[in-house]
Structure 1
Amino acid sequence: MTDFLRRLMTAEFDACPLSDLSLSGRVGTFVHHEEQERRFHAGLDPVSGEPDP
């Protein structure tokens, strides 16, 4: 199970093994909640860290 989750989060599957494609092809999508909060208060997108319009 650990290997499956690692491969899922690092997009190592040729095709997404889940019915939900929201994680497909998105490497490094996990951001700690404290970092998300810091980015939000800095006016950045909490997940990507890019400027939030």
Structure 2
Amino acid sequence: MSSPEEQQRAPALCKECDSVYTVRILAGGEIEPIGTTACSCGSEEFEVVD
């Protein structure tokens, strides 16, 4: 895992069902939901809300 200085947090929508999760945006641009590995619908793809 990256150090806290290399991470940002943001709200993100699940690409399948539009559920909202807080995610970490890692230094390489990878999105990682906080507290889970996937949405409750099973999707692992999220889009950051601007």
TM-score, length of structure 2 as denominator length: 0.27
Larger strand proportion of the pair: 2
